[in-house]
Amino acid sequence: MAYQTSAQARIAELYDEAAQARELASKFNDAATRNDLVNYAAALEAVAADWERAILSNAKGEPPDWQKSSPRPGDRTPPPHRHLQIWGNFRRGYRM
């Protein structure tokens, strides 16, 4: 799919930019600079991970829903452990 090809390229760019930001952060002693760069890298990785998840869950290659919405203040992704929590609850329930 053309969309997926371009999406994969953009995802790679996002991860690359994030890696550069982290590498750059390691070169500074200044705490504010390090924090800004590391937070920036984390935010980029979150965007890339969102996009990857959207591609995995959408075999048709349609633009994912999150891409149709505007950026939100803070622009946070759900905590990564959330699905594990749900799975854990399910397993506990199953054993009972």
Partner 1 sequence: MTIHSVLQFSQMNNAAPSLLNPEAIIASATRDDTLLERFNAHFEALPANTLALVRVAQKIRYQVYCIEHPHETADNPEGIETDEFDTHAAQSLLVHRATNEALGTVRLVLPLADALDRSFPVQRVLDETTLRTFNQLPLHSAAEVSRFSISRQFRRLADTYGRMNQDTFVTNSGPLMRLGLIQGLVRMSREHGITHWCAAMEPTLLRMLSAMAIRFRPVGPLIEYHGLRQPCYCVIDDALNEMKYERPAFWSLLTDGGALCDQYPMPARSKADFSLPTE
The contact set with partner 1 (CB under 8 A) reads: 6, 10, 14, 16-17, 20-21, 23-24, 27-30, 32-33, 35-37, 39-40, 43-44, 47, 51, 63, 67-68, 70-71, 73, 75
Phi then psi dihedrals of residue 62, to 5 deg: -70, 150
Tell me how far, at minimum, the Cβ of 43 lies from partner 1, in Å: 3
3-state secondary structure of 90: helix
- For the record, the structure tokens of 95 come out as 């054993």
Tell me how far, at minimum, the Cβ of 48 lies from partner 1, in Å: 9
3-state secondary structure of 95: helix
Tell me how far, at minimum, the Cβ of 45 lies from partner 1, in Å: 10
Cα dihedral angle (19, 20, 21, 26), rounded to 10 degrees?
90
Which is nearer to partner 1, 67 or 85 (by Cβ)? 67
Which is nearer to partner 1, 9 or 86 (by Cβ)? 9
Sign of the four-CA dihedral 22, 26, 31, 32:
negative
Tell me how far, at minimum, the Cβ of 37 lies from partner 1, in Å: 7
